[in-house]
Every structure is written in C-alpha cells, then in structure tokens.
Amino acid sequence: MKGICVLGSTGSIGVSTLDVVGRHPNRYRVVVLTANNNLDRLYEQCLRFEPSYAVMIDEIQAIELRGRLRAAGQWRTQVLSGAKALEEVAVLPEVDAVMAAIVGAAGLLPTLAAARAGKTVLLANKEALVMSGPLFMAEVMKSGADLLPIDSEHNALFQCMPSDYHAGRRAPEVRRILLTASGGPFLRTSVEKLEQVTPDQAIAHPNWVMGRKISVDSATMMNKGLEVIEACLLFAMAPESVQVVVHPQSVIHSLVDYVDGTVLAQMGNPDMRIPIAHALAWPGRFDSGAEPLDLFGVRQLDFEPPDTIRFPCLRLAYEAVRAGGSAPAILNAANEVAVESFLEGRISFSAIPETISHCMDALPAGVADTLEAVLEADRSARAVARAFIAHQETS
C-alpha cells in the first residue's frame, strides 16, 4: 500500500483525487491532506480518510480544525499550520506519492521539496514548473523522482509517448506534440465584446468543471500558454515543436506526431479522474469512475488554429518560453495578479493580457538558475503588476 500526500485536497483536483483513491482503498493510504482556507471540506475529508497529518495555512483555522476533529472523536490526525508545514509533510518517509494540486505560485516550494526527496510527483500545479523550469527538472533528474503530469493534455501526451518514456527526456522518434484546447467560453466572441466580459461569464467553462483561477486562465487561453511552457519542459521539446490546436469538443486531449508519420491521440470524456487514475496506477491502470466515451454521441471532431488576436495571452506565453530565464516566472506572476484583480472586479477581462505585457516589457528576462532568482522574479513581477493596475484604477 502506497502513502499519498494531497497538496490542495479541497480544490477540484484534490477532490477528484480522493474520489479515485477512495475507489481503491487497498492500494493507497491517505497520509496527508492540506488546504488553504476551506476548513469545512478539509474537516469532512479528515473524518472520511483519517490522514496522519492535515495542514491549513492559517493557524487560527488549524486550531479550529483540530478542535472540531477532537470533538468528533477523531484523534488520528495531527493538525499543522503554515506554508513551511507544506514542505515538511511533502517529504515524510511514509509518503510515496505527492499530488501537487495547490493552485498558483504557492505550490512551488512543497512541490520542489517533493521532487528533491525523490517522491513520485503527480503534477497538477503547472505554475510550479512554469516558474522554476529547468531548475525543477534538474532536481527531478538528480533525485530520480518519477514526474507524472496530471493536466489532461500533458497526461495525454505522456500516454502517447514511447512505453519506456520518463518525463524530462527527449524522445528522438517524436517530431512534434499537439496540445488541444477547447477555446473556452469565448471562442467565438469578438475582441470588442471581450472588454465587457464579467467574472461569472469567464468562469463558466463549456466542458470542464474547474476552480475560478484556472477557469479564467482557460477563458484567456493563458492556461494553454502555461501548458505550452510546461510541455517544452516535460518533454524536452523546442517551442516550435509544440503546436496548439483548438478542438472545441474536448474529446481528444492531445496528440503526439512521430517521425514516421504516425500520430497517436489520447481520447476520453472531459473528466479529470481519468488522468489522475492513470498517474496513480502508472505503469498499470485501474478504474477511475469516469463514464466510457460514447463515440456515437460525439459524432463530430473539429480542429482549428488558435486566434492570438482574440487571445494574446497565448502569444505572450510563447514569447516567454522563447526568452527563457526568468521570463516564464514573470509571465506567471503577472497573470496571477491580473486574474485576481479581474475576479475582484478591479480590472476588465482585456486588461489581463495588458498587465502581463506591461510586466514583461518592464522586467526583461534574467538568469533564473537558482530558487532565489526565481522567487525574486516572482516578487518583482507581482509588484510591477500591482502598481500598473493601481495606476489604471486612478487614471
């Protein structure tokens, strides 16, 4: 039986992970559950799975969680608090696999700690890899950690790679990889109308049920841009060999083009339990709980190139991965600040790429070969983005 740590257990990926794990109680034991501020859901999860440790970022909430568990007669779980505790639980000896599902830059340090410790890292937090790039991959190679992508597109690519493939290595028989994108809720919306988009409209994804931040990223196609950067790192491919294909049905999750002309595609319903189950069972397979794909119900598969005029965030991501160094960290940090401001109603939907572009112009890419340099690029970009947004509000 393998011990699992779920970083971000109360989010959509964390909930789906526990749904899959719950179907296979003889294979996995939940050792750690962590949450940012969803105390009620973490409490329910602790009652069901009885982890050895639970972590909440806020100390006051951690105290409340501890009290509620004790009142319910649940004494098995030790409750910890603070960001440092996330790193500590990710490297516990009884943890074999770490589901890295914390959204945003907050997931970088515990995910990096798990990689350094040689754990099996189930990577759902794309921002951690985007920020630290080669540094993260170097730690994976050095420790011998198994890195298994959870994003539906990257997991699809992984499944279509040669049978002995390991993340971070170039497969010479692969010519290019094709990342599919649904196009989000505004695939046919005019550029002019995007200015009036509301947060509620932006988080209403037509195919997937996701958190608010990643839903907005999907609506701007920044999510796909981050996935391009991630794909270049996971599969050691040049940006020119990573092509985005808009596929509104979200049935084909990505494709691998081989040098002999063969193109392999992974298909399935848009259910995150499928890639989660694949990574948990790897190199085998087991039941995910997802419904089987009904091809007769699909009937039609459409493909088209992305519109980078309507979705400039995708273009900015390609610019960042080509620039290298700290550019991806700057892009990611500026996007996080801009998306948060949009969800708060402080800026328009169209101001998200404007903020990112401003930060990339204001902060030229530098060397990012140490964790300190990555974190400094992140801090600088956030400061520039906040100042830019504040200026826009007062002008």
Contacts of 382 (CB under 8 A, 6+ apart): 333, 334, 336, 337
Judged against a pLDDT cut of 80, whether residue 193 lies above it is answered with: yes
Instruction: Please state the domain extents for the chain.
Output: 2-150, 151-269+278-318, 324-395
Amino acid at 296: F
Q: Among 77-81, 186-190, 317-321, which is the least confidently predicted range?
A: 186-190
Cα–Cα nearest to 101, from 189, 35, 19: 35
Q: How far apart are CA 33 and CA 297, in angstroms?
A: 38
The two structure tokens encoding residue 232: 């270049």
Question: How many percent of the chain have pLDDT more than 70?
Answer: 98
CATH architecture, range 324-395: Orthogonal Bundle (1.10)
pLDDT digits (tens, 9 = 90+) for 128-175: 888 888 899 999 999 999 999 999 999 999 999 998 898 889 999 999
- Chain position carrying tokens 């100042």: 387
Please report the pLDDT score of residue 183 as a whole number: 86
Peptide bond into 283 cis (omega under 30): yes
Residues near 361 by beta carbon (within 8 Å), at least 6 away in sequence: none
Hey, what CATH topology would domain 2-150 get?
Answer: Rossmann fold (3.40.50)
Rounded to an integer, what distance in angstroms lies between the CA atom of residue 282 and that of residue 54? 26
Quick one: which of 175, 132, 124, 117 has its CA closest to 153?
124
What does the pLDDT look like over 17-66, one tens digit per residue?
999 999 999 999 999 999 998 999 999 999 999 999 999 999 999 999 99
Question: Which tens digits make up the pLDDT trace of 66-119?
Answer: 999 999 999 999 999 999 999 999 999 999 999 999 987 788 999 999 999 999
- What mean pLDDT do residues 229-244 have? 96
Q: Rounded to whole angstroms, how far apart are CA atoms 274 and 93?
A: 28
Two tokens, residue 276: 């989660």
Give the per-residue pLDDT at 184: 81
Taking the C-alpha atoms of residue 280 and residue 300, their distance in angstroms, rounded to an integer, is 31
Q: Tokens in use for 52? A: 């050895």
State how far the alpha carbon of 23 is from the alpha carbons of 10, 27, 29, 136, 286, in Å: 18, 9, 12, 32, 10
The length of the chain is 395
pLDDT computed for residue 260 by the predictor: 97
Model confidence at 208, pLDDT cuts 50, 70, 90, reads low
What is the distance between the alpha carbons of residues 210 and 71, in angstroms, rounded to a whole number? 33
Q: C-alpha 373: how far from its chain's center? A: 22
Model confidence, pTM: 0.91
In the predicted model, is pLDDT for residue 285 greater than 80?
yes
- 27 Cβ contact list (under 8 Å, min separation 6): 1, 2, 280, 286
